[in-house]
Structures are given as C-alpha cells and as structure tokens.
Chains A and B, each alone.
Chain A
Amino acid sequence: MTMENAPAAKPIAPPRPKGRLRQALDSDIFYSYRRSPVTIVASIVAVSLILMAILAPWIAPHDPFNPASLNLMDGFTPPMSQSAFGDNWFLMGADNQGRDVFSTIMYGSRVSLFVGAMATLFAITLGVTLGLTAGYNGGTVDAIIMRIADIQLSFPGILIALLIFGIARGVIPANQQESMAIWVLIVAIGLSNWAQFARTVRGATMVERQKDYVSAARIIGVHPVLILIRHILPNVLGPVLVIGTIGLALAIIEEATLSFLGVGVPPTQPSLGTLIRIGQQYLFSGEWWILFFPAVTLVLLALSVNLLGDWLRDALNPKLR
C-alpha cells in the first residue's frame, strides 16, 4: 500500500501522468480519510456549515434583512420558544430587533465564508505569482520580493490588515465606503497573508527549476511564463493547498476579529464577527443566546477547516505515511 503510493505527491514520469496521478492521489487520500474519524466529523461539520451558508436565502426560516418580516415585539425571545406577542417560533432565540438568531447566523456565515474565501484566493494568487517569479528568476527580483515577504511575515497579519483598512478608509470617499467595505476587507486580509504562499512556492520552484524537464522545456524554447504555468505550477501546488486550507481558517478568524473590533464589514451585512459584537452588549444582561450561537458557529467553522488542513498536510506528506 504505502510503497506503491509513496511517489504520489511527487511528479510522475511522462507516460500518462494525469490519469495515474489522480488515481493514486484519490485512493491514498481516501484511505487516510477513512482512517481518521476526527477528519470525517470535521469534514461533515465543515460541509454542512458551508452548505447552510450558501443556501441561506432559500432555507433560512426568516429573512432577517427584510424589515417587513420583523416584529420588534419578538425581541429577546429566548431559544426554543414562541414569541410572547406573535406566533413566531425561534430555534436559537431572537436578538434585540426581533431577528431570528438562527437566520442571521446563516446569512452571517455567508458573509464570513465569502470574505474568507475571497481573501484566501487573493492571497494565493498574489503569493503564488510572486513566489514563482522570485524562485524562477532568482537574483535581484528574488531578493526584493523575499525581503518584503520577510518584513511582512515578522508583523502579525491583523496589524497589517488594520493598517490597510485605515488607509483605505482615508482614501475612499465617504459615500462609497459602505459598498466598498467588503472588498477593502478582502484586500486587507489577502495582503496580510500572501507572504507564506510566496515563501513556500519560491522554495519549491527553486527545487523544480533545477530538474531536467524544466531544462528540456527551456532548451526547446518554451516561453518562461508558459514553463512556469504549465510545468512548474502543477508541481508546487500541493503545499499551497495545505497552507490555503489553514489560511482559510485564519482568514475567517481574522475577518471575525476585524468585524468584532468594528472595522470590518458594514452593519448592513453582518458577518459572524459583527453578530458577536452585537451579542456582547447583551451578554451581561442575561440574553446569552445572541452571542453564544454565532460564537459557536464561528469556532466550529474555524476548527473544522483547521482540522481538515492538518489532515491534508499529513495525508499529502509522504514522509509521514
């Protein structure tokens, strides 16, 4: 089992690379997946949370952003109970404005996941591009890119994101701030996370560059950009996938933190962090559910994605098998 599949993560010789690679990867990963109950649970939790977020507009019991469907009298209804004044029933209670907490969580995870995923994609695109460039070219380009990455890596992401956010707020005119906020956030989180991808990809690219297939491609005159995209990129994507998964969890937490600090998404599009910020005001007067359920959702989301990333790292690492 282990012996035949060991080279799976490495590039495989030409004959029918794609078919065999995929086959081997599939069986291998699936094997380690079946063997790890924690991973199975984590993936079920993650998938159901993601589905819940994507399908929110169709399956949410209430529409928390349609003022017509809200009844202020429902405010502060405890979980699992009927409103004292209406006939609405609330699984996770209602918040101060009578919004169903369960529905706001569904819509909130939608925002959280969207921002997290887009920010991670942005970070990956930027990091992989710069990493490939640095690793393939070497020399001054490499030195400059990596020095910037070094500087950035020694500062915590949250600080960089805050700074970018502050700058954007000063530059963007006031009337566009609310509509732009979510994109500013995505750029801020993405820019604060690209360096890890760049560093990893650069290392892998420097190894790949020495190999014969790259020399061969270079000698027959393939354009460097094409070599990077068609030949080197597929071989350095494995670690990117792992860091990307863990990066997604980090980005979700970072978004929640920024929104909690009040510098994240606008109040009209609350994310899980915003919901927690709102809930915190009522925690000390006994309405615990407004904070508790969004917080649990956030933790479950981050934890399950994190566990999947951990598992992926071990599953893709031939040394650990």
Chain B
Amino acid sequence: MLAFIIRRLAQSVLVMLFVALIAFIVFRYVGDPITAMVGVETRLEDQEIMRERLGLNDPVIVQFLRFIGNAMRGEFGISYRLQQPVTELILSRLPATLELAFASATIALVFGLVLGVYTALRPRSFGSAIIMAASLVGVSLPTFLIGIALIYIFAVELGWFPSFGRGQVVDLGSWRTGLLTESGIRSIILPAITLSLFQLTLIMRLVRAEMLEVLRTEYIRFAKARGLTQRAINFGHALKNTLVPVITITGLQLGSVIAFAIVTETVFQWPGVGSLFIVSVQVVDVPVMAAYLMFIALVFVLINLIVDILYYVVDPRLRVDGGGAGK
C-alpha cells in the first residue's frame, strides 16, 4: 500500500516536472521576455542590464530550477497584458470557474445516474430509444453551439435567465461567490447545463452499460429467486455495484470540466480562468499561459492521484497500472 502510494506520488512529481519543463520552454523562448516587458524602444544597454538582473543570462538549467522554485511558491511573474501578478489574476478568477465546474458536475452526476438507470431497466422502451438517440446527437453537438442555442431560447426568446456574466457576487474574504444571490443562481444555470451535457451523456452511457452487465450476473438472478422486490434488486444490489466506476469517471472528468470551461466561459462571458486563458492565447500573454498550464496540470495530477489511491483502497483486486484517465 505504502509502496504503491510512494510510486504513484513519484510518478505525479515526474509528470509535473515534465509539464513544468514545457511551461518553462514556453515561458522562456516564446517571444523575448525583455521586449515583452519594456518594448523595443529601450536602449540596448538597459535591456542588457535588465536581462542580467532577471537572470536571463544564467545557464538554462539554473533558470529552469529557478522557474520551478518560483512556481512552487506560486510566482509566475507579471502578465504582459494586464501588468498584474499572474497568480493574483488566476486566484481572483478561480472561484467563478470552480463554482461553474462543480455545478455542472453535480448536474451531470444526478441526471446521468437517473437517465442511465432508466435506460438500463427499460432497454426496449420508447423513452430509452429517444434518450439514447439524443445522447448521440448530444455528443456530436459542439459545446459552443449548445451554449448559443440555450442562450437564444432561454435568454433571448423566453427571457428566463441572463445571457451572460455572473450576476451579483458576494465577497467571502478571498472567495467571491455568485451562489448566494438570486441573480447569481440564475446566471449559473445556463452555463452549468451547457458544460454538463457532455459529461452527462458520458456518465449516462457508463451507468447504462454497467447496469446491463450487472443485471445479467448470477447474484441478481439469485436475488430474484429469493423473492426480493424489484426495487431492492435494482437499487440495493445492481446500482450499488455500478457506482465504483461511475465515481471514478466523474472524479477524473472533473479536470476535463475545468478545462472545457474555456469554451463555455467564452460563450457566456463568464469571468473565470478559462476566458482569461483564451485572451492570453490570443495576445500571446506568455506568463499567464505558462501559469494556467501548470495550474491545470496540478489539478489533473491531484485528481488522478486521489482517484488511483481511492481505487486501491476500495478494490484491492484491481491491478492498477499507473497512467491517467484512460478508457
């Protein structure tokens, strides 16, 4: 157990170092940091002094180690575009993205479970056929089109929800939440649904497949023979046994949700880290790009690590062979 965790931890550190290397290369070699900071009009001697002072003349390996050291202290320099410390920027926008991600993960989990169980228990019914067909269409629909459609129907035509922004926010110390005001709640509904649809279909299909598998097993037949009620069999025996993979996938998908939020945030002008990243890519704001990359990698590695360890704890039969969110 301990050996496994240590090995897994070492792997995670390796992944982070790999990502840090990429982030460092991006940070150091995409464009010239000096020109980006002071512009081309500065005298060459001044540029050289600045280069020396920022340590850009040191050996690459020293610079890389310094980059890692700074990253561990949460320092990624100053945004070229906004002239603010990158970490501050990301932290100020993080609550918006996290609230959106958790709201949509909840929607995906609840509806995915319900629909998955329904389609598994009544595989031949008309409702199941419609749900399965809709899920296929849902996978083929790009997220941004779903967002636009929802805005058009529910914000423009019906006027039920606002079409952009976060509504009113409440300051809770360093966390600005939109979940405590009415306009905040109304604002999060459309983006959360948009973001959740892909995961929802995924969870639904997974639950359905697992349920169908479990329902064919011997112990379900035995439970039937014992005369248990259909309800007890379906929910007490079958569903319970499908939950482990479902929870795993949901956990692993949480990282994707945060990354996919880029698109949703752009469509709904949601002031989160995703839209910050898009603008940074457009204007090549390198420090923000590097920091965002490190941040996302950290989220992914942490989630993978936790899920793997949980897996190990929950089901010792499973031979866990490292790796990430494979299928």
Given contacts A155-B296, A163-B293, contact A280 B148 (CB under 8 A): yes
The B-contacting residues of A in range 184-213, CB under 8 angstroms, are 199
Is A283 in contact with B148, judged by CB distance below 8 angstroms?
A: yes
Given contacts A170-B31, A257-B142, A260-B144, contact A151 B281 (CB under 8 A): no
**Segment among B122-130, B237-245, B255-263 that sits at the interface with chain A:** B255-263
Given contacts A163-B289, A306-B139, contact A156 B145 (CB under 8 A): no
Given contacts A150-B323, A291-B148, contact A170 B255 (CB under 8 A): no
The distance from the CB of B33 to the nearest CB of chain A, in whole angstroms, is: 11
Is A156 in contact with B260, judged by CB distance below 8 angstroms?
A: yes
Is A299 in contact with B281, judged by CB distance below 8 angstroms?
A: no
Is B326 in contact with A155, judged by CB distance below 8 angstroms?
A: no
A138 within 8 A of B: no
Q: Most chain-B Cβ atoms within 10 A of its Cβ — which of A156, A158, A276?
A: A156
Is B140 in contact with A295, judged by CB distance below 8 angstroms?
A: no
Is B284 in contact with A151, judged by CB distance below 8 angstroms?
A: no
Task: Please report the C-alpha to C-alpha distance between residue A31 and residue B254 in the assembled complex, in whole angstroms.
Answer: 42
Interface string of A274-285 (1 = CB under 8 A from B): 001000100110
Measured CB to CB, the nearest residue on chain B to A171 is B30
A303 within 8 A of B: yes
| Contact partners of B55 in chain A: CB under 8 A | none
Number of interface residues of A (CB under 8 A): 38
Q: Which residue of the partner chain, among B30, B145, B156, contacts A170 with CB atoms under 8 Å? A: B30
The distance from the CB of A206 to the nearest CB of chain B, in whole angstroms, is: 14
The distance from the CB of A42 to the nearest CB of chain B, in whole angstroms, is: 11
Is B323 in contact with A256, judged by CB distance below 8 angstroms?
A: no
The distance from the CB of B305 to the nearest CB of chain A, in whole angstroms, is: 11
Q: Which residue of the partner chain, among B15, B262, B286, contacts A158 with CB atoms under 8 Å? A: B262
Given contacts A156-B256, A158-B263, A159-B296, contact A167 B30 (CB under 8 A): yes
Interface string of A226-268 (1 = CB under 8 A from B): 0000000000000000000000010001001100111100000
Task: Please report the C-alpha to C-alpha distance between residue A201 and residue B300 in the assembled complex, in whole angstroms.
Answer: 26
Task: Please report the C-alpha to C-alpha distance between residue A34 and residue B140 in the assembled complex, in whole angstroms.
Answer: 24
Q: Which residue of the partner chain, among A150, A155, A262, A302, contacts B322 with CB atoms under 8 Å? A: A150
B136 within 8 A of A: yes
What interface size band does chain B fall in?
35 or more
Measured CB to CB, the nearest residue on chain B to A295 is B145
The A-contacting residues of B in range 1-44, CB under 8 angstroms, are 15, 18-19, 26, 29-31
Is A306 in contact with B286, judged by CB distance below 8 angstroms?
A: no
The A-contacting residues of B in range 129-165, CB under 8 angstroms, are 136-137, 139-145, 148, 152, 156, 163
| Contact partners of A159 in chain B: CB under 8 A | 259, 262, 296
| Contact partners of B296 in chain A: CB under 8 A | 155, 159
Task: Please report the C-alpha to C-alpha distance between residue A310 and residue B137 in the assembled complex, in whole angstroms.
Answer: 13
Given contacts A171-B29, A303-B136, 13 further A-B contacts (CB under 8 A): A150-B322, A155-B297, A163-B289, A256-B142, A256-B144, A260-B263, A262-B278, A276-B148, A295-B148, A302-B140, A306-B140, A307-B136, A310-B136
Residues of B within 8 A of A (CB): 15, 18-19, 26, 29-31, 136-137, 139-145, 148, 152, 156, 163, 252, 255-256, 259-260, 262-263, 266, 277-278, 280-282, 284, 286, 289, 293, 296-297, 300, 304, 322-326
**10 CB < 8 A contacts A-B:** A155-B296, A158-B260, A158-B262, A167-B26, A169-B284, A261-B262, A276-B144, A276-B148, A295-B145, A307-B136
